[in-house]
């Protein structure tokens, strides 16, 4: 493996040495501009016009746009750049660049330029979206211009976008006048539908030329589009920034680490030569540090920025629209930090600290698994609006739960355009946002939610009662469905079973397609408010708990091959105890918590053996236990004091179905409360307490080495094995906790 790592690292060094850095261009004999310049392009109005390119070294290059002319002298690498004065919208103009040769671009317009980027929902073409054929046929807009960036990731920043390769389904990457033919060009239904509808709306409402740059790639992560400057700007992403620096051969961090590697390798070479002469074993060769590799996959940080965004700047743009997040949707609140990095990075490389940035919320979709996790992700997307000059288009009403690519891209484009019209272009009459949370107040046994951005009021999209509102009680249970009624700019929430509401949430599920909107037809996005109560069910529900001392406290989200307790009080307790107790809590995504408490006469005199029965603990028990005291809120559990019929199965081994111990009521045909251990001793693992008289598993913590794939359960599993063997369900519980206690003598 070490040789493979070194070879891979050496391969990157050879590759970079062979191709040279992106900024060291082969000096062309003729004047050349980046591909983002061309006939039919749109230049950004009211911003200085940046024009750059390559020529012979030290050559004087003259750039003329209309009546404006500016000259520059190329450096010794043939690089030159000029800045022309700002212009108002208009055209067409001719852009001419002259040196030893000339480049002429015709039909150049001045207007509004926007960059559209993200993953597949931004990439999805007009032909693949709703009413695609009809929309393409109507796409005759001479003042709307399109530029499609070729897909390319790169280990280092590129000076120009890639050329389309011969035979590819994509068109060549030149600026195109918007026609039915040009909007249909492209790999997946043509030009970005969301971008097209956005640009069309601006063009029709602003009556100026609009240029759209489509730089998209399906299935990609946000960090791949982010420049190093973005990671540097966000303290929460410091570790990722450090990795980006280590992978960049221009940075001191990379050079220092590489120097250390070379020194270690030279020492190894010397030792290896000596070993060869003395006919001794050669020590292992040092591994090439993986962190020194530049981006080597499309998903690596900066890879798509390097290949598709860096080549575009400093081509002036008014702003960017963004539709991405499905590939990062499991990250929850961290996505806010990633958005900060992306936006800060793009603003820095474009030298525009106020660059407009509007983005689409990902739509509802059945991702499978815990549906509540998307609520946190939506919250993270919404919180990114705290970044100045940003805004989010909510899409909860235009998704498709069975298709991650909803077809309605018209509304996506229109809603993004509404943000631009209102915030960038100052059209104060434009309603750009659906209802957003403003305040929460308690009124008896009801909660009142006050909203901003209500237009002329709140409404139900389908005329039915409002959906996807939930409330939670201060004392009992989790979130439950709330009855919601509109009163002016507020919604009043109540639920018969909730007497003391303290918190609420809205659309907190990936399947949520709520019907709350304002009278302008824009929907409300997911949010939550209030303080969700933190309840210690052990103290609240188990009277005898006060007689016991805590030995171990374990967050079961930390299960793995090694058990590390959050609390381990063995050193603080005297060793003599006469009873042992266990308290397991499993909290569902809606906040509802299952719990089970069971205490019993001590089955060992060792505190080390009452926790999770790992190999290192020395615990291995299959025996009856006496005098069970059981408390639980799980339906069907037999509760009571001094119950007989208790037995435990604690071991780190594999185990089988046969009832070798002849446990009463056990079956030899399923995994239950009468299994027998098997090899190896460090195997699947079982931590189970049963009431065999009741034919019942009280709780199970199995296969802890699998982490989120471990088995957790209270009571008998309704299907398959009663003791939860092979359930693999630990990951479904957002919160899970095990406490182990003893009653001291």
Please indicate, yes or no, if residue 66 is contained in any of the structural domains.
Answer: no
Please indicate, yes or no, if residue 54 is contained in any of the structural domains.
Answer: no
* Cα–Cα dist 474/109, whole Å: 62
Same domain, 443 and 423: no
Residues 193-205: tens digit of each pLDDT: 999 999 999 999 9
Same domain, 370 and 517: no
Query: How crowded is the C-beta side of 368, counted as CA atoms within 13 Å?
Result: 2
Residue 405 pLDDT class (50, 70, 90 cuts)? very high
Same domain, 391 and 453: no
Q: For the chain, how many residues are written? A: 745
pLDDT, the chain, mean = 93
Residue 285 in tokens: 């060769």
Instruction: Give whole-number Cα distances, 190 to 72, 106, 707, in Å.
Output: 38, 24, 44
Instruction: Give whole-number Cα distances, 370 to 34, 219, 336, in Å.
Output: 47, 21, 20
Domain end (from 511, 530, 549): 530
Could you tell me the sign of the dihedral formed by the alpha carbons of 487, 490, 491, 493, in that order? negative
3-state secondary structure of 388: coil
- Among 165-169, 177-181, 271-275, name the one with the lowest average pLDDT: 165-169
Phi and psi (nearest 5°) for 38?
180, 170
Mean pLDDT of 11-21: 41
C-beta of residue 201 within 8 angstroms of C-beta of residue 393: no
Please indicate, yes or no, if residue 337 is contained in any of the structural domains.
Answer: yes
Structure confidence at residue 165 (pLDDT): 67
Same domain, 583 and 495: no
Mean pLDDT of 20-31: 54
Domain end (from 486, 508, 530): 530
3-state secondary structure of 176: strand
Please indicate, yes or no, if residue 101 is contained in any of the structural domains.
Answer: no
Residue 368 pLDDT class (50, 70, 90 cuts)? confident
Phi and psi (nearest 5°) for 222?
-65, -35
Residues 594-611: tens digit of each pLDDT: 999 999 999 999 999 999
- Among 23-32, 58-67, 519-528, 614-623, name the one with the lowest average pLDDT: 23-32
C-beta of residue 721 within 8 angstroms of C-beta of residue 671: yes
Give one DSSP letter per residue of 10-29, joined into a string.
HHHHHHHHHH--TTSPPPPS
Instruction: Give whole-number Cα distances, 486 to 1, 465, 496, 615, in Å.
Output: 64, 9, 18, 59
Same domain, 484 and 510: yes
Structure confidence at residue 589 (pLDDT): 78
246 contact partners, CB below 8 Å, separation of at least 6: 253, 254, 257, 289, 291, 292
* Cα–Cα dist 511/467, whole Å: 12
DSSP letter assigned to residue 86:
P
Residues 538-575: tens digit of each pLDDT: 998 999 999 999 999 999 999 999 999 999 999 999 88
DSSP letter assigned to residue 425:
S
Consecutive H or E run containing 415:
helix 410-419
Give one DSSP letter per residue of 190-252, joined into a string.
SSBHHHHHHHHHHHHHH-S-EEEEEEE-TT--GGGG--HHHHHT-GGGHHHHHHHHHT-TTSH
Please indicate, yes or no, if residue 678 is contained in any of the structural domains.
Answer: yes
586 contact partners, CB below 8 Å, separation of at least 6: 593, 594, 595, 712, 714, 733, 735, 736
Residues 224-274: tens digit of each pLDDT: 999 999 999 999 999 999 999 999 999 999 999 999 999 999 999 999 999
Same domain, 739 and 609: yes
Higher per-residue pLDDT: 479 or 167? 479
C-beta of residue 514 within 8 angstroms of C-beta of residue 524: yes
Same domain, 356 and 492: no
Structure confidence at residue 583 (pLDDT): 98
Please indicate, yes or no, if residue 583 is contained in any of the structural domains.
Answer: yes
Mean pLDDT of 178-205: 95
Same domain, 158 and 307: yes
User: Is the preceding omega at residue 439 within 30 degrees of 0, hence cis?
Assistant: no
Residue 535 pLDDT class (50, 70, 90 cuts)? confident
If one counts the domains in the chain, the total is: 4
pTM to 2 decimals? 0.80
Please indicate, yes or no, if residue 105 is contained in any of the structural domains.
Answer: no
* Cα–Cα dist 739/250, whole Å: 51
- For the cut 50, the answer to whether the pLDDT of residue 488 exceeds it is yes
Same domain, 658 and 581: yes
- Give residue 442's region: left, alpha or beta (phi > 0; psi -120 to 50): beta
3-state secondary structure of 489: coil
Same domain, 478 and 614: no
3-state secondary structure of 546: helix
Residues 419-446: tens digit of each pLDDT: 999 999 999 999 999 999 999 999 999 9
Residue 170 pLDDT class (50, 70, 90 cuts)? low
Mean pLDDT of 371-393: 95
C-beta of residue 285 within 8 angstroms of C-beta of residue 266: no
475 CB neighbour count, 10 Å cutoff: 12
Q: What is the CATH number of the domain that holds 418?
A: 3.40.50.1110
Which three-class secondary structure string do you get for 65-101? ECCEEEEEECCCCCEEEEEECCCCCEEEEEEEEECCC
Q: How far apart are the first and last CA of the chain?
A: 55
Residue 460 in tokens: 């139900």
Please indicate, yes or no, if residue 155 is contained in any of the structural domains.
Answer: yes
Alpha carbon 336 to its chain centroid, in Å, reads: 9
Domain range enclosing 612: 537-744
* Cα–Cα dist 139/200, whole Å: 9
Give one DSSP letter per residue of 317-377, joined into a string.
-SEEEEE--GGGGGGTTHHHHHHHHHHHHHHHHTT-TT-EEEEEPPPP---SS-TTHHHHH
**What is the β-pairing status of strands 516-518 and 458-460?**
antiparallel
Same domain, 178 and 254: no
Question: Which residue is listed with tokens 């559990």?
Answer: 637
Structure confidence at residue 671 (pLDDT): 95
C-beta of residue 440 within 8 angstroms of C-beta of residue 531: no
Residue 477 pLDDT class (50, 70, 90 cuts)? confident
Domain end (from 497, 530, 563): 530
Same domain, 525 and 567: no
Residue 467 in tokens: 């959906």
- For the cut 60, the answer to whether the pLDDT of residue 577 exceeds it is yes
Residues 286-341: tens digit of each pLDDT: 999 988 999 999 999 999 999 999 999 999 999 999 999 999 998 888 999 999 99
Consecutive H or E run containing 134:
helix 132-137
114 CB neighbour count, 10 Å cutoff: 25
Mean pLDDT of 467-485: 94
């Amino acid at each position: 493996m070490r040789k493979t790592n070194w070879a891979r690292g050496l391969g990157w060094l050879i590759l970079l040495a062979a191709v040279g850095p992106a900024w060291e261009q082969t000096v062309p004999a003729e004047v050349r501009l980046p591909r983002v310049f061309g006939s039919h392009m749109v230049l950004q109005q009211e911003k200085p016009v940046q024009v750059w390119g390559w020529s012979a070294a030290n050559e004087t290059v003259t750039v003329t746009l209309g009546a404006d002319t500016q000259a520059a002298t190329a450096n010794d690498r043939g690089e030159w750049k000029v800045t022309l004065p700002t212009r108002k919208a208009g055209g067409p103009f001719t852009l001419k660049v002259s040196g030893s040769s000339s480049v002429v671009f015709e039909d150049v317009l001045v207007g509004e330029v926007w960059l559209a980027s993200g993953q597949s929902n931004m990439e999805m073409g007009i032909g693949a979206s709703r009413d695609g054929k009809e929309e393409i046929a109507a796409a005759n807009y001479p003042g709307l211009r399109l530029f499609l960036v070729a897909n390319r990731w790169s280990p280092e920043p590129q000076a120009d976008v890639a050329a389309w390769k011969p035979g590819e389904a994509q068109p060549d990457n030149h600026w195109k006048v918007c026609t039915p033919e040009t909007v249909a060009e492209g790999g997946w239904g043509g030009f970005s539908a969301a971008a097209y509808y956005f640009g069309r709306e601006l063009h029709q409402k602003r009556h100026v030329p609009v240029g759209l740059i489509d730089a998209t790639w399906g299935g990609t992560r946000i960090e791949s589009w982010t420049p190093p400057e973005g990671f540097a700007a966000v303290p929460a992403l410091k570790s990722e920034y450090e990795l980006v620096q280590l992978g960049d051969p221009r940075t001191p961090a990379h050079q220092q680490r590489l120097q250390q590697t070379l020194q270690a390798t030279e020492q190894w070479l010397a030792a290896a030569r000596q070993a060869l002469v003395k006919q001794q074993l050669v020590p292992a060769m040092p591994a090439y540090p993986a962190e020194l590799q530049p981006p080597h996959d499309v998903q690596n940080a900066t890879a798509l920025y390097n290949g598709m965004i860096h080549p575009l700047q400093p081509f002036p743009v008014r702003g960017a629209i963004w539709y991405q997040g499905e590939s990062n949707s499991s990250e929850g609140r961290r996505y806010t930090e990633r958005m900060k990095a992306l936006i800060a990075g793009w603003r820095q490389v474009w030298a525009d600290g106020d660059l407009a940035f509007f983005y689409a919320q990902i739509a509802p979709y059945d991702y499978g698994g815990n549906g509540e996790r998307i609520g946190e992700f939506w919250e993270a997307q919404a919180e990114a609006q705290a970044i100045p000059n940003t805004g989010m288009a909510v899409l909860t009403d235009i998704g498709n739960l069975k298709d991650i690519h909803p077809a309605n891209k018209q509304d996506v484009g229109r809603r993004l355009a509404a943000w631009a019209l209102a915030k960038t272009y100052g059209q104060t009459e434009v309603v750009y946002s659906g209802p957003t949370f403003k305040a929460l107040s308690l009124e008896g046994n009801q909660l009142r939610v006050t909203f901003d951005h209500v237009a002329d009021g709140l409404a139900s999209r389908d005329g039915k009662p409002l959906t996807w509102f939930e409330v939670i009680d201060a004392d009992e249970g989790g979130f439950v469905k709330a009855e919601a009624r509109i009163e002016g700019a507020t919604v009043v929430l109540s639920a018969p079973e909730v007497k003391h509401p303290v918190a609420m949430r809205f659309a907190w599920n990936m399947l949520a397609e709520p019907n709350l909107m304002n009278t302008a037809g824009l929907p409300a996005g997911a949010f939550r408010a209030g303080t969700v109560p933190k309840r210690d069910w052990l103290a609240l529900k188990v009277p005898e708990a006060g007689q016991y001392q805590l030995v171990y406290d374990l967050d079961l989200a930390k299960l793995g091959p090694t058990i590390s307790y959050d609390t381990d009080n063995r050193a603080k307790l005297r060793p003599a105890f006469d009873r042992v107790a266990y308290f397991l809590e499993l909290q569902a995504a809606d906040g509802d918590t299952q719990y089970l408490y069971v205490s019993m006469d001590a089955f060992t005199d060792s505190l080390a053996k009452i926790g999770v029965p790992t190999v290192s603990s020395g615990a291995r028990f299959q025996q009856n236990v006496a005098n069970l005291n059981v408390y639980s809120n799980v339906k069907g559990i037999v509760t009571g004091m001094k119950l007989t019929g208790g037995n435990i199965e604690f071991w780190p081994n594999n185990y089988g179905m046969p009832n070798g111990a002849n446990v009463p009521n056990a079956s030899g045909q399923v995994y239950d409360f009468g299994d027998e251990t098997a090899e190896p001793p460090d195997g699947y693992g079982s931590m189970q307490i049963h009431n065999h008289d009741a034919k019942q598993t009280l709780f199970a913590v199995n296969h802890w080495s699998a982490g989120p794939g471990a088995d957790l359960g209270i009571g008998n599993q309704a299907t398959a094995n009663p003791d939860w063997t092979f359930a693999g369900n630990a990951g479904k519980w957002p919160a899970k906790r095990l406490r182990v206690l003893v009653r001291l003598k």
